[in-house]
Amino acid sequence: MGNHNTPFSLSLDTKDVVIVKPSKPTPSQILSLSTIDNDPNINILCQTIYVYKPNLNSPNDQKDPASLIKEALSKALVYYYPLAGKITTLDDDDDDDEKLGINCNGDGVPFLEANANCELSSLNYLEGVDVPTAQKLVFDNPSQDQTSPYPLVFKVTKFLCGGFTIGMGLSHSVCDGFGASKFYRALSEFASGKNEPSVKPVWERERLTLKKTSLKEEEKEPFKFLVDETSLATSPFLPTKEISHECFNLNSETIKRLKMKLMKEVDSDEYHNMMKESFTITTLEALGAYVWRSKVRALKLNNDGETLFCLAVGVRHLMDPPLNEGYYGNAFVASNVVLKVKELNENPLFEAVKLIKESKKVSMNEEHIRNSINMLEMMRRRKIKIEGRGASLVLTDWRQLGLLQEVDFGWKGSVNIVPVPWNMFGFVDLCLFLPPNNLDPLMKGGVRIFVSLPKASMAKFKEEMELLKGMKVDEDI
């Protein structure tokens, strides 16, 4: 997603909003959300666009995609009935503060249908699409802070070629990426004629909810952040309203070269030890470290300030017993690394990779998960919301969600998936790793890196990405 111009202006003929209700009666109840769901930083509607080419060999092409999806949605909502309700605030018995919950009233999901004035190919299947064009393809959410009383909204746009896009807005308070992909898969199963989803959803939010008693002692303590606010690095480009959003494609060859170069930074003793432990560098660790440093350089963060690398780590399988496969709530904690800007900039990048690897290990035990949940609850009670200041990189990896290849509505899998920028941590701290689109065979095994930065700093970040692409194995990183 770039700021370069789309060759012409996309115009849409949009019908009136219809409300899609569950196809059968559903339970009427109030459900509580978990402590992780209640993190105020994720109370936003996350909009994503899925792009489908026309499939000329398919009998489904005689069907109208919007009607097909509407019908499938109505069936899926019988199982995912909380998504047909409204997000509400519940009074907490002990405290005077409020928590989020869902009023399952079966009200239904707002659904828009539109026709576009062009073929999808003329927008290059949304590869490198500019933000204003992307925003036309999702349900308009007029709220300034991107919150919404609806947990779910839809917009299906048909193009002249017979291809279409599905713009899905889903409340991050209700689902994380895995949860969203489970729901989306269920939707496609109903669209392709199944009578029930292969994975039945479960609520079970109490599994990740803090027990009331566990906070009494800690509440007397002053709240401690990982990094003292005053020691966080600052950028001359922030605060600003001028934000650029870009998506960078890195192919598997570039990633392989980066990993080889990182291994070259290791001295021979350490290398032997690593070989004994069959040490490997993952794509996430190598690119995570490189993007972190590139961002620090692009933002010109002050050398003596601290910078934070924060990775969202899924905990579904780490719980004892593991969460049910149908759990679709937020189930991740942060794995964190803190460094002085000077250290990240001047030490071998391999050092940052090692720290990221270690922090992932630490976050993979139940105690870390419980501590994270405690901390989130303390922050919620004290109304502490993290403002994006550029000193942190919050990284979310979407490559394992199976959203591109495996979700087929009868038009084959989507060829592209495009996040519409989310105002989480003021845009600038968030970074997404996305699977490559299915348009370019050379990108197989590659990664798309989606970042939002102050306009004035984007050129430097691009330069760092170009350096990576052109890098030879025997050069210094």
**How does pLDDT run across 396-454, given as a tens digit for each residue?**
999 888 666 556 666 777 889 999 987 766 678 999 999 988 888 889 899 999 999 99
Q: Are strands 447-454 and 18-20 parallel, antiparallel or unpaired?
A: unpaired
- Mean pLDDT for 74-87 is 98
pLDDT tens, 223-280? 556 667 788 999 999 999 899 999 999 999 999 999 999 988 887 666 666 665 667 8
- Mean pLDDT for 194-223 is 78
Q: Could you give all domains of the chain from N- to C-terminal order, each with its CATH number?
A: 12-215 (3.30.559.10), 227-400+421-470 (3.30.559.10)
Q: How far apart are CA 82 and CA 89, in angstroms?
A: 15
Structure-block tokens of residue 261: 């170069």
Instruction: Count the alpha carbons within 13 Å of 360 in the hemisphere toward its beta carbon.
Output: 16
In whole angstroms, what separates CA 454 from the centre of its chain?
20
Q: How far apart are CA 288 and CA 282, in angstroms?
A: 10
pLDDT exceeds cutoff 50 at 3: no
pLDDT tens, 125-152? 999 999 899 999 999 866 666 678 999 9
CA distances from 248 to 369, 456, 461, 475 (A): 32, 17, 10, 22
Q: Do the Cβ atoms of 275 and 268 come closer than 8 Å?
A: no
Q: Do the Cβ atoms of 16 and 354 come closer than 8 Å?
A: no
CA distances from 292 to 232, 307, 345 (A): 15, 9, 10
Residue 120's SS3 state is: helix
Q: Do the Cβ atoms of 327 and 278 come closer than 8 Å?
A: no
**Phi first, then psi: what are they for 9, rounded to 5°?**
-90, 130
DSSP lists the bridge partners of residue 164 as: 52, 158
**Phi first, then psi: what are they for 68, rounded to 5°?**
-60, -45
- Mean pLDDT for 65-91 is 95
Which uninterrupted H or E stretch holds 423?
none
Q: Do the Cβ atoms of 313 and 332 come closer than 8 Å?
A: yes
**Phi first, then psi: what are they for 444, rounded to 5°?**
-55, 130
The dihedral through the CA atoms of 331, 379, 214, 171 has a sign that is: negative
3-state secondary structure 143-178: CCCCCCCCCEEEEEEECCCCCEEEEEEEECCCCCHH
Q: How far apart are CA 73 and CA 409, in angstroms?
A: 12
DSSP lists the bridge partners of residue 334 as: 312
pLDDT band at 41 (very low <50, low <70, confident <90, very high): confident
Q: Which residues are catalytic?
A: 172, 408
pLDDT tens, 89-106? 987 655 556 799 999 999
pLDDT exceeds cutoff 50 at 5: no
Q: How far apart are CA 431 and CA 322, in angstroms?
A: 28
